Amino acid sequence: MVCRFFIALSVSMGLLIKATQTLPIGTAYAVWTGIGAVGTVLVGILVFKEPATFLRLFFIATLIGSIVGLKAVSH
């Protein structure tokens, strides 16, 4: 279990490093953490049967929209 965590961490950090080669660090980090936050919420809803209320889904959608917006305005 711990080994899988370190593999996933290494891959994730490697992709963050790769992203910073073409995006500003602030944008890359915001996208990286946003993807993690959305993924965590979706796992909670799908795997742990947490409630998928309208407001929860609305704010997940706004988070995704913000991530896409940050990527769109980055040079």
Total domains, the chain = 1
Selected residue with higher pLDDT from 75 and 10: 10
State how far the Cα of 71 lies from the Cα of 5, in Å rounded to an integer: 27
Which structural domain, as residue segments, surrounds residue 48?
A: 2-73
Q: Tell me the pLDDT band of 2, cut-offs 50, 70 and 90.
A: very high
Q: Tell me the pLDDT band of 71, cut-offs 50, 70 and 90.
A: confident
pLDDT tens for 4-59 read 999 999 999 999 999 999 999 999 999 999 999 999 999 999 999 999 999 999 99
State how far the Cα of 20 lies from the Cα of 39, in Å rounded to an integer: 21
State how far the Cα of 25 lies from the Cα of 27, in Å rounded to an integer: 6
